[in-house]
Amino acid sequence: MDRPELTDKTIRLFISTLKEYSKKINIISKGITEEQLNALIEETILLEKHISESTIVDAGSGNGILGIPIAIINPDKKIFLIEPRKKKSEFLSYVIKKLDLKNTEVIRSGIEEFLKGRQKRKFTMIARGFPDNIKLVIYVKKKIVKELLLITSLDKIKKMTKGIEKLRQNIYNVPFRDNLKIIHIANVSRET
């Protein structure tokens, strides 16, 4: 990918910070390799071309492997990292300060709490490994979220089929990962 040198340096700093912090507190799998981390970052970057909104919500941010790279390569967009677990939200706060990401905010709550009272907002929601993808699809159906981008397995997409039949959906391949897909779900019905 053609990225400015500063972006590449910042992504490398994120990866090294992730690895170093994880020595103290389990943020990533202890056995994960540099190559695997780079592959996860590249998969995240695939989302970028499908994001149409200037506000991005990373549901269940965890270690930031989705939201942080998106924030780095999109300094003009506002990124909310939603993470209810204290240790992971503290890591996210630490890393955004270390990387000086002025466009990124950590919200220590569940996605339901964050979206409560936020109706018909122009958000792009992103997620990977979220425990209940159907819950996220409901926010698109209710027009609380304009679009949802998930990195997930083909099996999980098949389980969601009934919940997304009336929504626009596009499925994209993730290179070199046969069963991993990006699904883009949007509510294109007219506002009333």
pLDDT tens, residue by residue, 131-169? 889 999 999 988 889 999 999 999 999 888 877 888 999
> For the domain 5-186, what is the CATH code?
3.40.50.150
Tell me the C-alpha to C-alpha distance, in Å, between residue 113 and each of 16, 78, 116, 122, 137.
Answer: 31, 19, 5, 17, 16
In the predicted model, is pLDDT for residue 111 greater than 50? yes
Tell me the C-alpha to C-alpha distance, in Å, between residue 155 and each of 12, 19, 58.
Answer: 32, 30, 22
pLDDT tens, residue by residue, 59-79? 999 999 999 999 999 999 999
CA nearest neighbour of 164 among 190, 136, 178, 185: 185
The torsion angle over the Cα atoms of residues 94, 96, 99 and 104, rounded to 10 degrees, is -170
Backbone angles phi, psi at 157, to 5 degrees: -65, -45
How far, in Å, CA of 95 to CA of 186, rounded?
31
pLDDT tens, residue by residue, 7-49? 789 999 999 999 999 988 888 988 888 889 989 999 999 999 9
Tell me the C-alpha to C-alpha distance, in Å, between residue 145 and each of 46, 185, 190.
Answer: 20, 10, 14
26's tokens: 């389990």
